[in-house]
Chain A
Amino acid sequence: MAVAFDEMNGPGGDLRPAYQELSRWLKETPPDALEYRRQEAELLFRRIGITFAVYGDAEAQERLIPFDVIPRIMSSKEWTLLEKGLKQRVRALNMFLRDIYHGRDILRANVIPDDLIFQNPVFRPEMNGQDVPHDVYVHIAGIDIVRVDADNFIVLEDNARTPSGVSYMLENREIMMRLFPDLFARHRVAPVEKYPDELLSALRSVAPLSASAEPVVALMTPGVYNSAYYEHSFLADKLGIELVEGRDLIVKNDEVFMRTTEGLKRVDVIYRRVDDDFLDPLTFRPDSALGVPGLMSAYAAGNVTLANAVGTGIADDKAVYSYMPDIVKFYLGEEPILKNVPTWRCREPKDLAYVLDNLGDLVVKEVHGSGGYGMLIGPAATKATIEAFRDKLKREPEGFIAQPTLALSTCPTCTASGLAPRHVDLRPFVLTGRDHVTIVPGGLTRVALKEGSLVVNSSQGGGTKDTWILDE
């Protein structure tokens, strides 16, 4: 594996310009002051209750995601490029979804194989021929980006269903501004606080035609036991909209209402943080207690907008991901600005053979997996784990893809033995409304706190950092 690119001390150990002021500040600041601030930050997180639940961990039902106080910094030039690439990619994702559920030009042009769509469990036949307001399917996208050098941004994953983490982007900034006002005074950091406003106007802009002039937007959560519940309540609060659960909603005559102290009130747009499967027990899983019976028929009648739309999973499927460069070219006629990680699709015999021969060097992921669960990191895995994966791959090759182990870039991070480089990724949040795509300058930087680790997922011991885009 190549030596990782460090975002502060570039190749050859030269201090990169965006980090100059930080480096100076770090030299002036005694290490115990940093440690003191770190503890203070942790206390703040706990008191505010910014927690997440780890599934399968009864001991710690609510945990804190470790927060690293050293910011990750990008220049405005880097951001401009990234922003352009993200907008391009999300536009293509929306056009792809519109096409898949309507004319299917892309299949007829043989750009991607039919069975990848039709045999895919996240493809939703219910959405065939259904129009969604302004053809927006993915209103909120979280695109996971990694870097391997100074010039290239690579997309690791598209999250087009119910991406989470934006509350950390906002809260991390709040806490950093409280703890390090002096450091902010020495930088011009682009603000992220407009995100809730941008999100609300994007959601309002896609209200159904039958909505009133002031469309009612609500955020739908699976409830307090969901791992991202804090984020749901945080966002509802910042947007000034009701945080509803399935049991608060009722469908009458194909319209959705919420039960309020003043009777029923119509809801026009639902920012839902509930998976497709649980939305409506009449259409999807009949055992779902989280959903609203009849929601899909109100949706089909065009009386409510769901954000994101139903069926977007087909766009962030990891096998479909491997076709993203072709998808961008097909719909936009442009070269993709953001690269893909080279991907072997195990469903193809030639690729499978290669993957089986090189398991020790590759990262193998489940096509429908997320959160870092169920993946193999070849170079870090034991022989036994690799062999177990080999069996799984042979049994169900179409369930997996494989990628080379990337040397993710590193950023200086507080560790028990002082500042040290740790691997990071970045999830910016891309909002699509009626007529424009917006991205607040920043995102959620996740950091693998264990030395050498490449897994940044919070469920696997990853932490977060504040992400600064310098406004030069």
Chain B
Amino acid sequence: MLSRTAENLYWLARYVERAEYLARTIDATLRVTALPAAYIGKTNEWDSALLTAGVSASFYEAYEEANEQNVVEYLAFSPSNPSSIKNCIEAARLNSRSVRTALTSEMWDTINSAWIELQEVWGKGTSSREELARFLRFVQETSLRFDGSAYRTMLRNDAYWFSRLGLHLERADNTARILDVKYHVLLPEEEHVGGPLDYYQWTSILRSVSALTAYHWVYRETLKPWLIADLLILNDTLPRSLASCYSNLVRNLDQIGVAYGRQGASQRHARGVRNRLEHSHMDDIFQHGVHEFIQEFIADNARLGEIITKQYLI
């Protein structure tokens, strides 16, 4: 297939995944900030939302204060934030239009309908909590529909695999970032990680990666930070865990390798990262430092993106 088509499919999936992640982040933050102050401590949850979205610096160039109104506007609707939900959906539509021939009509319909709704219903943003909640649901449902229609209607060929690569790479990045922010940036050094005040923080992490119920099924325990880290990093059964993302990346890259009759740097690199995840134990990670581990992972993940681009997309 054309390199440009593969590139568009890859980015299309990334944008949709990113839009969903941002919607979940806003949603989770709204829930925490709705709690009485005594339950959430002194941290600014909106600041943390910006950090997990990786747009803190650019936000403060445009705004003074990280409050609900400003952050929601910036993350969801701002035209000047290149990865706002609105811009993600716009970019997804533009990418879809460029590769219409490679999409099934169901996928196109999902993206195009979302884009139309974005203009017609959400063109002016939201003016109440209820509206915002509806908007966030709309974004999450769009992503679910897109993912579902890709899964159910696409031929299992390179077009599908490149689209999956974009999805899992983006997802791994998002999960890693949210863990990093909660583990490292938010919690003051001296405070015991996992103190009672943090309970709602952890709930909110799990919520933003849709793993709250999963946690209880897997561990049958009250929320414990190291178990949450175990779930999000090492547990292959959780679709948003780093381990699961890398199982998928390795598999999809192998499928491409088999179809093209050739393996390359991206297959090797992905396998390397997956092996490291497979052979890691939470104890070692804690000893080594969760922050360091995740930072390394984020860099490795970004590196995989570069290698895939070089090997296939240009």
Give me the interface of A with B, judged by CB distance under 8 Å. Answer: 46-49, 223-224, 229, 233-234, 236-237, 242-245, 247-248, 258-262
Q: Are A46 and B116 in contact, with the CB atoms below 8 A? A: yes
Q: Are B97 and A49 in contact, with the CB atoms below 8 A? A: yes
Interface centre among A49, A223, A243, A261 (most CB of B within 10 A): A261
- Which residues of B sit under 8 angstroms from A260, Cβ to Cβ? 1-3
Q: Are A237 and B3 in contact, with the CB atoms below 8 A? A: no
Q: Which size bracket describes the interface of B in this complex?
A: 20 to 34
Q: Are B1 and A261 in contact, with the CB atoms below 8 A? A: yes
Chain B nearest CB, measured from A7 CB (Å): 34
Write the B93-106 contact mask toward A (1 if CB under 8 angstroms, else 0): 01001101100010
Which chain B residue shows the least CB distance to A62? B97
- Which residues of A sit under 8 angstroms from B105, Cβ to Cβ? 48
Q: Are B4 and A248 in contact, with the CB atoms below 8 A? A: yes
| Cα A190 to Cα B51 with chains together (Å) | 62
| Cα A47 to Cα B105 with chains together (Å) | 10
Chain B nearest CB, measured from A239 CB (Å): 9
| Cα A446 to Cα B71 with chains together (Å) | 50
Give me the interface of B with A, judged by CB distance under 8 Å. Answer: 1-6, 94, 97-98, 100-101, 105, 108-109, 112-113, 116, 158, 162, 256, 260, 312-314
Chain B nearest CB, measured from A118 CB (Å): 40
| Cα A234 to Cα B97 with chains together (Å) | 11
- Which residues of B sit under 8 angstroms from A242, Cβ to Cβ? 1-2, 5, 101
| Cα A48 to Cα B109 with chains together (Å) | 7
- Which residues of B sit under 8 angstroms from A258, Cβ to Cβ? 2
Inter-chain CB contacts under 8 Å: number: 54
22 sampled A-B residue pairs with Cβ under 8 A: A48-B105, A49-B108, A49-B112, A229-B97, A233-B97, A233-B101, A236-B101, A237-B101, A242-B2, A245-B4, A247-B4, A248-B2, A248-B3, A259-B314, A260-B2, A260-B3, A261-B2, A261-B3, A261-B158, A261-B162, A261-B260, A261-B312
| Cα A6 to Cα B232 with chains together (Å) | 71
| Cα A236 to Cα B99 with chains together (Å) | 10
Q: Are B100 and A47 in contact, with the CB atoms below 8 A? A: no
Q: Are B97 and A224 in contact, with the CB atoms below 8 A? A: yes
Q: Are B2 and A244 in contact, with the CB atoms below 8 A? A: yes
Which chain A residue shows the least CB distance to B112? A49
- Which residues of B sit under 8 angstroms from A46, Cβ to Cβ? 116
Query: Besides the contacts A224-B97, A236-B101, what 18 more A-B pairs have beta carbons closer than 8 Å?
Result: A49-B97, A49-B100, A49-B108, A224-B94, A237-B100, A242-B2, A243-B100, A247-B4, A248-B3, A258-B2, A259-B2, A259-B3, A259-B314, A260-B1, A261-B3, A261-B162, A261-B260, A261-B312
Partner of B109, one of A47, A223, A233: A47
Chain A nearest CB, measured from B15 CB (Å): 16
| Cα A116 to Cα B113 with chains together (Å) | 51
Partner of A243, one of B101, B113, B260, B313: B101
Chain A nearest CB, measured from B216 CB (Å): 40
Partner of A47, one of B112, B158, B260, B313: B112
Chain B nearest CB, measured from A276 CB (Å): 24
| Cα A421 to Cα B140 with chains together (Å) | 48
Chain A nearest CB, measured from B113 CB (Å): 6
Which chain B residue shows the least CB distance to A265? B2
Chain B nearest CB, measured from A171 CB (Å): 12
- Which residues of A sit under 8 angstroms from B98, Cβ to Cβ? 223-224
Which chain A residue shows the least CB distance to B109? A47
Chain A nearest CB, measured from B155 CB (Å): 12
- Which residues of B sit under 8 angstroms from A49, Cβ to Cβ? 97, 100, 108, 112
Chain A nearest CB, measured from B235 CB (Å): 32
| Cα A237 to Cα B5 with chains together (Å) | 13
Chain B nearest CB, measured from A174 CB (Å): 12
| Cα A236 to Cα B314 with chains together (Å) | 22
Q: Are B3 and A47 in contact, with the CB atoms below 8 A? A: no
- Which residues of A sit under 8 angstroms from B108, Cβ to Cβ? 49
Smallest CB-CB A-B distances: 8 pairs: A233-B100, A237-B101, A261-B312, A259-B3, A261-B6, A236-B101, A224-B97, A49-B112
Chain A nearest CB, measured from B289 CB (Å): 38
| Cα A262 to Cα B162 with chains together (Å) | 13
- Which residues of B sit under 8 angstroms from A236, Cβ to Cβ? 101
Which chain B residue shows the least CB distance to A238? B101
Q: Are B260 and A262 in contact, with the CB atoms below 8 A? A: yes
| Cα A248 to Cα B8 with chains together (Å) | 13
Chain B nearest CB, measured from A49 CB (Å): 5
Interface centre among A49, A234, A237, A247 (most CB of B within 10 A): A49
| Cα A260 to Cα B256 with chains together (Å) | 13
| Cα A248 to Cα B98 with chains together (Å) | 12
Which chain A residue shows the least CB distance to B311? A261
Chain A nearest CB, measured from B302 CB (Å): 21
- Which residues of B sit under 8 angstroms from A248, Cβ to Cβ? 2-4
- Which residues of A sit under 8 angstroms from B260, Cβ to Cβ? 261-262
| Cα A76 to Cα B22 with chains together (Å) | 59
Chain B nearest CB, measured from A52 CB (Å): 13
Which chain B residue shows the least CB distance to A242? B2
Which chain B residue shows the least CB distance to A233? B100
- Which residues of A sit under 8 angstroms from B97, Cβ to Cβ? 49, 224, 229, 233
- Which residues of A sit under 8 angstroms from B1, Cβ to Cβ? 242, 260-261
Chain B nearest CB, measured from A58 CB (Å): 15
| Cα A47 to Cα B111 with chains together (Å) | 10
Interface centre among B4, B113, B312 (most CB of A within 10 A): B4
- Which residues of A sit under 8 angstroms from B256, Cβ to Cβ? 261
- Which residues of B sit under 8 angstroms from A224, Cβ to Cβ? 94, 97-98
Interface centre among B3, B109, B112, B113 (most CB of A within 10 A): B3
| Cα A259 to Cα B105 with chains together (Å) | 25
| Cα A260 to Cα B100 with chains together (Å) | 17
- Which residues of A sit under 8 angstroms from B101, Cβ to Cβ? 233, 236-237, 242-243
| Cα A233 to Cα B103 with chains together (Å) | 11
- Which residues of B sit under 8 angstroms from A47, Cβ to Cβ? 109, 112-113, 116
Q: Are A259 and B116 in contact, with the CB atoms below 8 A? A: no
- Which residues of B sit under 8 angstroms from A229, Cβ to Cβ? 97
- Which residues of B sit under 8 angstroms from A223, Cβ to Cβ? 98
Q: Are A259 and B113 in contact, with the CB atoms below 8 A? A: no
Chain B nearest CB, measured from A42 CB (Å): 12
Chain B nearest CB, measured from A67 CB (Å): 18
- Which residues of A sit under 8 angstroms from B313, Cβ to Cβ? 261
Which chain A residue shows the least CB distance to B259? A262
Which chain A residue shows the least CB distance to B6? A261
- Which residues of B sit under 8 angstroms from A243, Cβ to Cβ? 100-101
Chain A nearest CB, measured from B146 CB (Å): 15
| Cα A248 to Cα B1 with chains together (Å) | 11
Interface centre among B2, B98, B112 (most CB of A within 10 A): B2
- Which residues of B sit under 8 angstroms from A245, Cβ to Cβ? 4
Chain A nearest CB, measured from B308 CB (Å): 10
Which chain B residue shows the least CB distance to A259? B3
- Which residues of B sit under 8 angstroms from A244, Cβ to Cβ? 2
| Cα A229 to Cα B5 with chains together (Å) | 15
| Cα A432 to Cα B133 with chains together (Å) | 57
| Cα A223 to Cα B98 with chains together (Å) | 8
| Cα A262 to Cα B1 with chains together (Å) | 7
